[in-house]
Amino acid sequence: MGLTKNSTGLNAVDTGLDLKKFLPEDKVIALAGNPNVGKSTVFNNLTGLNQHTGNWPGKTVASAQGVCRHNGKNFILVDLPGTYSLMPHSAEEEVARDFMCFGSPDAAIVVCDATCLERNLNLVLQALEITPNVVVCVNLLDEAKRKNIHIDLDMLSLRLGVPVIGTIARKKGSLNRLMQAVDTLIEKGGNGKPYQVKYDEHIEEAVGLLAPLIEGKFGSKINPRWLALRLLEDDRALSEPLSKFLEVDVFEDREIMQQLNLAWQRLEQGGITKENLRDRIVCALVLTAEKICKGVITYDKNTYNSRDRKIDKLLTSKSTGFPIMILMLMVVFWITISGANYPSQALASLLFWGQDRLTDLFKYLGAPEWLHGAVVLGVYRVMAWVVSVMLPPMAIFFPMFTLLEDLGYLPRVAFNLDKYFKKCSACGKQALTMAMGFGCNAAGIVGCRIIDSPRERLIAILTNNFVPCNGRFPTLIAILTMFFVGTAAGLFQSALSAVLLTLVIILGVVMTFAVSKILSLTILKGVPSSFALELPPYRKPQIGKVIVRSIFDRTLFVLGRAVVVAAPAGLVIWLMANITVGDYTLLAHCSNVLDPFGRLLGMDGVILLAFILGFPANEIVIPIIIMSYMATGTLVELEDLSSLRQLLADNGWTWITAVSTMLFSLFHWPCSTTCLTIRKETGSLKWTAISMAVPTLVGLVVCFIFANIARLFL
């Protein structure tokens, strides 16, 4: 998950888990673990897929599958979202639980963080209650070594009764031993004695009343102890997936219910109610984990995390927390803007040289004028624009942001901002979903799954569009550069751009807070819910690998999108600009109709039309504007931003137009992919419609007020 080609754009829409085996004898391996333990790195390196690995809890929010070949066999790995427990509290935890329990994996690898092993063991113990085929992967051994934490893997394996393999997931060698252990386990079976957590005598007695009956009815289909415990807990949310899996509604089965009621009675006699049953079960798990780890882990309590504490003091303290955050944002933008300058110009020159060559080719072949127009002036030109203007900033911004994520900085942002989110009755984790929205709003929407409360999740979904995605960045940067900074490339210019862009983003963030608050007071009334955010240890990102992979990934993504979205859009615009109905072209008709409305908002008909036609993807808005102006006016050689500025000025653009366009770009309906994602995530057409209406309404109001007040003063 995260921000990669495979998870942004159309791929963000979750189509559900569709397990695909190549051969019937392929083995399915579930990959489970706490959030943030390097599970996705293990997955990536075993399968060769490129699933992004960031350093904040909640990164993987959907399941992904990949194939790992080992010893000539196929292993289908299913990467589950990180969970603290298989007794789920959120949508993503349910996904993990459902697969582990009902997906019938042949084995499960539970990945643990060596620097936090005791807490991780809770999940291992729960996994062992579901299936005996568990391999424990103790990952991040290099981090543990750095912190002087020593783990006796053999002793741990002895105590747990299952294979325990230590790994450094970044290094593929250790992963081979992991797969070997999995292979051996499936082929030869384990030593037969995986550890089973013992609860207190009353609970064990109750389990004893149910387990044999369950075993009799369902055999080896499901672990009887596990099911007995879940029935005793009266976990009705489990009923649906359970019934589907067993093909029988357990809670309707007379015999089972009879035994269950008897068991509940016996528990009550022992002083255990249904409420404190869960307490006791969880306590037993926690204390068992503690017991198993004694003697297995050795570390110096006072020094092992001192470096992390020092960094946190810097990043989250009262005096330095916020300034650093804003500075960080500005630096990221500044590097993006100044770094993208030359590559953009170079690409533009190259691609427009290409356009001239294509024109020559068409002339040489004697191709008809309209064909040249459609293919070269329409399709090719828009694609050329998108690639030369969109690609360099994206290729710089994404890697930088990814590095920040890998470091583990983003949860600290959520930590700093939570108080203000709480004031708006929203959740601090919304900061994380907004961060994802910077990359791609669709990915940001999916990321909202990390917010437990449905009400707060909806608020995050409805406001995610106030954060401009990478498709809108270049639009904002281009307008800022043309109208407010000057197209000369210098240190001052790029720094000013960065500052202005940061201000625009801050405006988006402020609007997010404001609208969240309004939503909480009106259609999404409610109180702030509970909130527990893990601040993971800082980890050194693999800088080289991240940069290379991200640039490659972004290039493919932009090129792909350019072909799929920009090219057809270019064709459509060219057609509209060259098909005449009555006295005007189709384009002129449409923009004339929209013109009075557009002018009210400080823009014009062409700009508004461009936004509407930009529904498939935000990055084509400016190309559409350019094309529309060029179609109605004289042909201009468009080689760089200064000639673009001239084109805009010739068509009536003033600084007011520029600002209004930027404001509308920030506050308008989500792109088609995002809308699709919202529909999928909320399951509701009503909320999808509202998610389109809210930012649009804000945009209309803000632009109207700004444009008319600004005109008053001019």
Enter the DSSP assignment of 374.
I
Q: Nearest 5°: CA angle at 133, between 127 and 134?
A: 50
Nearer to other proteins, 65 or 126 (CB): 126
Q: Verify binding: residue 116, other proteins, rule CB under 8 A.
A: yes
> Which of 115, 475, 520, 657 is the binder for other proteins (CB under 8 A)?
115
- Contact call for residue 85 and other proteins (CB under 8 A): yes
Enumerate residues 6+ apart whose C-beta is below 8 A from 333.
497, 498, 501, 502, 505
How far apart are alpha carbons 390 and 411 in whole angstroms? 28
Chosen residue from 2, 166, 224, 321 binding other proteins by CB under 8 A: 321
For other proteins, the closer of residues 316 and 591 by Cβ is 316
Distance between CA atoms of residues 155 and 294, nearest Å: 10
Residue 118 or 205 with smaller CB distance to other proteins: 118
Q: Does 335 bind other proteins (CB under 8 A)?
A: no
Shortest distance, CB of residue 315 to other proteins, whole angstroms?
10
Q: Which residue type, as a one-letter code, is found at position 116?
A: C
**Cβ(214)–Cβ(173) below 8 Å:** no
* Distance in angstroms (rounded) separating the CA atoms of residues 714 and 705: 15
CB of 324 to other proteins, least distance (A): 10
Going across the sheet that includes 164-166, the strands are 64-70, 73-79, 27-33, 107-113, 134-139, 164-166
Is the distance from CB of 22 to CB of 685 less than 8 angstroms?
Answer: no
3-state DSSP call for residue 460?
Answer: helix
Q: Which of 6, 11, 14, 119 is close enough to bind other proteins by CB under 8 A? A: 119
> CA-to-CA distance for 662 and 469, rounded, in angstroms?
13
Closer residue to other proteins, CB minimum distance, 305 or 632: 305
User: Following DSSP, what letter does each residue of 245-258 receive, concatenated?
Assistant: HHTS-GGG-HHHHH
Given the rule CB under 8 A, which of 66-74, 265-273, 274-282, 557-565 is the region that contacts other proteins? 274-282
Angle at 578 between CA 577 and CA 581, to 5 degrees: 95
Task: Return the number of the residue (218 or 299) whose C-beta is nearest other proteins.
Answer: 299
The binder of other proteins chosen from 240, 279, 639, 650 (CB under 8 A): 279
Pick 76 or 127: Cβ nearer other proteins: 127
Nearer CB in complex with other proteins: 220/302: 302
Separation of alpha carbons 185 and 135, rounded Å = 8
Quote the CA–CA distance of 42 and 574 in Å, as a whole number.
48
The whole-angstrom separation of Cα 21 and Cα 322 is: 49
Does residue 286 interact with other proteins by CB under 8 A?
A: yes
Q: Are 96 and 83 in contact (CB under 8 A)?
A: yes
d(CA 428, CA 451): 9
Q: Which residues pair with 585 in a beta bridge?
A: 580
**Cα-based angle 207, 208, 213 (whole degrees, multiple of 5):** 95
Which listed residue (21, 48, 69, 89) binds other proteins by CB under 8 A? 89
Tokens of 471: 């498709």
Q: Give the shortest CB-528-to-other proteins separation in angstroms.
A: 7
CA–CA distances in Å: residue 170 to residues 159, 338, 399, 540, 548: 27, 32, 18, 12, 16
Query: Please, which residue, 317 or 708, has the CB nearer to other proteins?
Result: 317
Interacting positions 525-564 with other proteins (CB under 8 A)? 528, 530-537
**Does 416 interact with other proteins (rule: CB under 8 A)?**
yes
Region for 710 from its dihedrals, namely left if φ exceeds 0, alpha if ψ lies in -120 to 50, beta otherwise: alpha
Site string for other proteins, 421-440 (x = CB under 8 A): -x-----x------------
87 lies in the binding site for other proteins (CB under 8 A): yes
Supply the minimum distance, in Å, between the C-beta of residue 85 and other proteins. 4
Shorter beta-carbon distance to other proteins: residue 418 or 619: 418
338 vs 297, 471, 492, CA distance in Å? 49, 18, 10
Name the residue nearer to other proteins (CB basis): 219 or 271.
Answer: 271
Q: What is the DSSP letter of 13?
A: S
Which residues 290-319 are close enough to bind other proteins by CB under 8 A?
Answer: 290, 305, 308-309, 312-313, 316-318
From CA 188, how far away is CA 227, in angstroms rounded?
26
Q: How far is the CB of 142 from other proteins (least distance, A)?
A: 17
Which of the residues 435 through 494 are near other proteins (CB under 8 A)? 452
Binding of other proteins by 328 (CB under 8 A): no
Nearer to other proteins by Cβ, of 532 and 635: the residue is 532
Q: Smallest distance, Å, CB 276 to other proteins?
A: 11
Nearest to 564 by CA among 439, 351, 383: 383
CA–CA separation, 616 and 673 (whole Å)? 7
Count of residues that bind other proteins according to CB under 8 A: 45
Q: Which is nearer to other proteins, 90 or 402 (CB)?
A: 90
**What's the longest Cα–Cα distance across the chain?**
95
**One of 70, 221, 278, 599 touching other proteins (CB under 8 A):** 278
Query: CA-to-CA distance for 308 and 299, rounded, in angstroms?
Result: 16
Taking the least distance from each CB to other proteins, the nearer of 144 and 395 is 144
CA distance 279 to 233: 10
Q: Minimal distance in Å, beta carbon 537 to other proteins?
A: 8
Give the H or E element holding residue 627: helix 621-632
Q: What is the 8-class DSSP label of residue 236?
A: G
Site for other proteins in 509-528 (CB under 8 A): 528
Residue number, 35 or 378, with CB nearest to other proteins: 35
CB of 89 to other proteins, least distance (A): 5
Nearer to other proteins, 122 or 223 (CB): 122
Q: Which amino acid is at 233?
A: E
Minimum CB separation of residue 506 from other proteins in Å reads 16
> Which span sits near other proteins by CB under 8 A: 346-354, 412-420, 460-468, 539-547?
412-420
Min dist. Cβ of residue 412 to other proteins (A): 9
234 part of the interface to other proteins, by CB under 8 A: no
CB of 110 to other proteins, least distance (A): 15
Stretch that binds other proteins, among 112-120, 161-169, 367-375, 670-678 (CB under 8 A): 112-120
DSSP state letters, 16-58: ------SSTTPEEEEEEESTTSSHHHHHHHHH-------SSTT
DSSP category for residue 272: -
Least distance (Å) between residue 282 CB and other proteins: 4
| Closer Cβ to other proteins, 311 or 489, answer by number | 311
Among 14, 118, 253, 640, binds other proteins (CB under 8 A): 118
User: Least distance in Å: CB of 143 to other proteins?
Assistant: 12
Which residue, among 656, 664, 327, has the nearest Cα to 465 in the 3D structure?
Answer: 664
Is residue 122 involved in binding other proteins (CB under 8 A)?
A: yes
Of 158, 257, 262, 283, the one binding other proteins by CB under 8 A:
283
> Minimum Å distance from CB 317 to other proteins?
7
- Which range touches other proteins (CB under 8 A), out of 280-288, 326-334, 466-474, 681-689? 280-288
- Beta strands 297-298 and 150-151 are antiparallel
Binding stretches for other proteins (CB under 8 A): 84-85, 87, 89, 115-119, 122, 278-279, 282-283, 286-287, 289-290, 305, 308-309, 312-313, 316-318, 321-322, 415-416, 418-420, 422, 428, 452, 528, 530-537
